[in-house]
Amino acid sequence: MLQQIFQKIDEHYEEMIEIRRYLHKHPELSFHEKETAKYIAQYYEDLHMPYETNIGGNGVIATLKGKHPGKTIALRADFDALPIQDKKDVPYKSTVPGVMHACGHDGHTATLLVLAKVMQQFQNDIHGTIVFLHQHAEEITPGGAKPIVESGAIDHVDKVFGNHLWATTPLGTLQTRPGVFMAGTDKFEITVKGKGGHGAYPHETKDALLIGAEIVSQLQNIISRRISPLETAVITVGSFHAGNSFNVIADEATLVGTVRYLDEAVQAVVKREITQVVKGICLANNAEYDVNYSEGYPPVVNHEEDVATLFKASEHIPEIKEKYVSEAQMGGEDFAYYVRQKEGVFFFTGAQKERHSYPHHHPMFDFDERAMPIAAKTFISAYFESQK
């Protein structure tokens, strides 16, 4: 039966492309995905498949109950876009100024919708229940996964599988790892309050820009001198604003950045040391400060048994030429909330374009659409393997 399902997925490849490109042309930002949610709901309405909307916000969940007893397994796809201007010259370029699908979530959605359509044709042969989980707001904390979990919508689910089309690895590859697969993602904002003045008289001021620059430099010492070399963490200051004129010394500076970690004990050290560094530098410069540290998504921790199930399931898929246990990724994912509550695994499906490949979150981002049916086959193969 699995080969019959694969054949049907291939037969619907053009529909996958059509859905993906429509969504690519009509992106919506996190927590504002009203029309996308309606599109998804209408698709299930047309299939006459039971579904619910407004799950934890804009989430949509459809259910396909097989005729035979078995486990209930959720397959998750996210559908929000990013505040990036689409600079590709393609027919399906975003029509929304300053918003684009720059991470493949349009492909995730198309994959899951078509898989639902295909599997409905095999409903009488299915053991267990497939939950098609369409999640909003993956890109921005607090994200959509947490409120979906808190809503109780997956309380009855036994396992959750999640896929990301990965545009930086070749088509035909599958990667994941047991244990910590993706990093926890925190955010911090530091405000330095000095004393502004004339650029010609620095001795009469407390230069917030200079103090801020020292903080940027010293924050990296937390990684190199406060964290064990055997541990992994990242501190990145992505935004630094101070001053507005060439001859005026800034009285205030704002630094915004992210912390990535794999171990929560490391997170605690970094969080504490950031405040200590800022406090020490500002004290030395007789300046005031404020540190706002926000904890974001926790690390994605895959369940070992489900990783093994996934790799075994992939053996049935001829398009997968290479599968491997990857190193931990410092990117983050709110899929972490699902695998904190349920067994499951998050994995990457290679989707790199053969020419003109760009990374995720880039204005020229795109992916090889042939990865979508591979992801669909991986999902359903893992589903059947989990029922054994």
- Per the annotation, the verdict on 80 as an active-site residue is yes
DSSP 8-state assignment for residue 31? T
Distance of alpha carbon 378 from alpha carbon 332, whole angstroms? 22
Residue 343 class from Cβ within 10 Å (0-12 exposed, 13-18 middle, 19+ buried)? buried
Catalytic residue among 28, 80, 86, 334: 80
What does residue 347 show for φ and ψ, rounded to 5 degrees? -140, 160
Catalytic residue among 28, 33, 86, 138: 138
Spatial contact of 299 and 262, defined as CB atoms under 8 Å apart: yes
Known binding residue 282? Answer is no
Distance of alpha carbon 118 from alpha carbon 129, whole angstroms? 14
Q: How far apart are the first and last CA of the chain?
A: 15
HSE of 90, CA atoms in CB hemisphere, 13 A? 17
Instruction: Using DSSP, state whether 73 is helix, strand or coil.
Output: strand
Known binding residue 164? Answer is yes
* DSSP string computed for 142-205: T-SHHHHHHTTTTTT-SEEEEEEEEEEEETTEEEE-SEEEE-EEEEEEEEEE-B-EETT-GGGS
CB atoms closer than 10 angstroms to residue 46:
9
Stretch (H or E) spanning 305: helix 304-314
Known binding residue 32? Answer is no
Distance of alpha carbon 109 from alpha carbon 135, whole angstroms? 9
**Amino acid type, 365:** F
Known binding residue 105? Answer is yes
| Max intra-chain CA distance, the chain | 82
Known binding residue 360? Answer is no
Spatial contact of 299 and 225, defined as CB atoms under 8 Å apart: no
What does residue 53 show for φ and ψ, rounded to 5 degrees? -120, 175
Name the binding residues for Mn(2+): 103, 105, 139, 164, 361
Name the binding residues: 103, 105, 139, 164, 361
Annotated catalytic residues are: 80, 138
